[in-house]
Copies of this chain bind each other. A is one copy, B any other.
């Protein structure tokens, strides 16, 4: 194998990973290894599937749009990951692409697009979202993919909110608790979720419902008005540093 374990391309595969297991490559992965990375059978790759840790593997077959790799050895165990959902109103293409990529890098566990009363962009492309999530996870050394949920109405989500999960919603009206203080409180047992509104903010009715909900707390991010995607990334960064895995260091 010509590359070391730390520089070999990293790929997500859905299949089980075990010593000697051969797993097929998706067409874009085969294209990437063959035509972009100029690799050939015998070359080293790294694999993860969200369950079995990180594996070193060898390309066993590689053709035009198809290929397979064979697992060699596990190079890192699966580790538990923080439980933090991101609820976000769909954004225009480039900003949403950025939001999704960065949220994956910052360790989000669930991406939940939400319809709010002022949401401008009222549809998402689930296949595109799923592909972006895989690419970002491969890039950032995560061992999991976040779950991408279907677009849902905010009020429906709040009406069926899971018991024990805390919801922190961005509040730019000045009524929120500073995010650092809010996140420094002891976490509950049911995990957390972060909710950021659309460009126009939450409607008064939405803010009333959010403020009345026992599981929700408004948080603020300082005196500047942040765009929706900036607020989401600031929230995730602060959450990981305070309640997530910000104290850990890069591993495999």
Shortest Cβ distance from A97 into B: residue: B94
Contact of A250 among B141, B178, B223 (CB under 8 A): B223
Contact of A141 among B141, B221, B223, B246 (CB under 8 A): B223
The reply to whether the CB of A174 lies closer than 8 angstroms to some CB of chain B is: yes
The reply to whether the CB of A240 lies closer than 8 angstroms to some CB of chain B is: yes
Do A105 and B227 touch (CB < 8 A)? Answer: yes
Do B94 and A226 touch (CB < 8 A)? Answer: no
Separation of A105 and B238 alpha carbons in the complex (Å)? 16
A84 to chain B, nearest CB (A): 12
Which residues of chain B come closer than 8 Å to A49, judged between CB atoms? Answer: none
Separation of A229 and B102 alpha carbons in the complex (Å)? 9
Q: Chain A 218-243 against B: per-residue CB contact (8 Å), 1 yes, 0 no? A: 00111111110010011001101110
Do A179 and B225 touch (CB < 8 A)? Answer: no
The reply to whether the CB of A31 lies closer than 8 angstroms to some CB of chain B is: no
Separation of A1 and B241 alpha carbons in the complex (Å)? 46
- Known A94-B94, A102-B233; judge A250-B238 contact (CB<8 A): no
A234 to chain B, nearest CB (A): 4
Which residues of chain B come closer than 8 Å to A247, judged between CB atoms? Answer: 178, 180-181, 222
The reply to whether the CB of A251 lies closer than 8 angstroms to some CB of chain B is: yes
The reply to whether the CB of A68 lies closer than 8 angstroms to some CB of chain B is: no
A118 to chain B, nearest CB (A): 14
Which residues of chain B come closer than 8 Å to A174, judged between CB atoms? Answer: 249-251
Q: Chain A 111-125 against B: per-residue CB contact (8 Å), 1 yes, 0 no? A: 000000000000000
Shortest Cβ distance from A224 into B: residue: B140
- Known A238-B238, A250-B172; judge A105-B233 contact (CB<8 A): no
The reply to whether the CB of A107 lies closer than 8 angstroms to some CB of chain B is: yes
The reply to whether the CB of A98 lies closer than 8 angstroms to some CB of chain B is: yes
Separation of A178 and B237 alpha carbons in the complex (Å)? 12
Separation of A248 and B223 alpha carbons in the complex (Å)? 5
Separation of A105 and B176 alpha carbons in the complex (Å)? 18
Centre residue among A174, A176, A246 by max chain B CB count within 10 A = A246
Do B142 and A224 touch (CB < 8 A)? Answer: yes
Separation of A242 and B237 alpha carbons in the complex (Å)? 12
Separation of A225 and B180 alpha carbons in the complex (Å)? 23
8 residue pairs bridging A and B, Cβ less than 8 Å apart:
A139-B227, A141-B225, A174-B250, A174-B251, A180-B246, A220-B250, A222-B248, A223-B248
